[in-house]
Amino acid sequence: MKKYIYFLIAVSACLFVGCSDDDDNTVTIDSRVVGEWQLINWNGDKAEDFDVYLELLSDGSFNLYQRVEYSYYEHFAGTFSVGENLLQGRYSDGKPWAGEYDYALSDGGYTLTLTDRKSNEVNIYTRMQQIPEDVRKTSVTRSASGRSRFL
C-alpha cells in the first residue's frame, strides 16, 4: 500500500513539474517598431507616384495600405515577427512578404529603414501620428492570392 501511495505522489509531482505557465505562442515584438509608418523613399527615389502606409501593432499583426498599381488604396493584413534586426511577415492568406528585411531605426525612432536581405532594396519609412482616416475608410481590403503587394 505504501508503494502505491509513493507511486501516486511521484506521478502527481511529475504532472506539476511538467506544467508551466509559459505560453509558447507568445510573440515578442521590438516595441520600437510598433507604430504607424509612411514610405518616403524607395530604393533611393522619393515615393511620389505611389503611396504606402504600414501599421505594425504590438500583438504582432500588421495593416498595409498601398496605392501602387491603382488609383485607390488597397488594404492587406497579416502578422509579422521581429528578431535580431530581422523583420518578416505573412499576409492573412498565408503568403509570406516578398522579402525578409534587416531593419534599423534612426532619428530618435522616427525613421525606419528596411533593407531586403536578398535584393538589397531599401525602403525608408517615417513615423506618423496616425494613418489618415480617409486612407483607412476608402481602402479596398484584399486577401486574394496573386495580388501585387508592396512588401
- Separation between Cα atoms, residue 148 and residue 142, nearest integer Å: 10
Q: What is the mean pLDDT of the chain?
A: 82
CB burial of residue 83 (10 Å; 0-12, 13-18, 19+): exposed
User: In 3D, which of 105, 2, 123 has the Cα closest to residue 66?
Assistant: 123
Residue 23 lies in a domain: no
Query: Which pLDDT does position 48 carry in this prediction?
Result: 77
Indicate which CATH number applies to the domain containing 60: 2.40.128.280
Residue 78 lies in a domain: yes
Copy the grid coordinates of residue 111. Answer: 525613421
Residue 107 lies in a domain: yes
- Separation between Cα atoms, residue 24 and residue 32, nearest integer Å: 23
Residue 92 lies in a domain: yes
Residue 1 lies in a domain: no
CA distances from 4 to 12, 14, 16 (A): 12, 15, 19
User: What is the total count of domains within the chain?
Assistant: 1
- Separation between Cα atoms, residue 63 and residue 77, nearest integer Å: 5
Residue 110 lies in a domain: yes
Residue 130 lies in a domain: yes
What are the pLDDT digits (tens) for 40-90?
A: 998 887 877 889 999 999 999 999 999 988 889 999 999 999 988 899 999
Residue 133 lies in a domain: yes
Domain that holds residue 94: 35-141
Q: pLDDT band at residue 11, thresholds of 50, 70 and 90?
A: very low
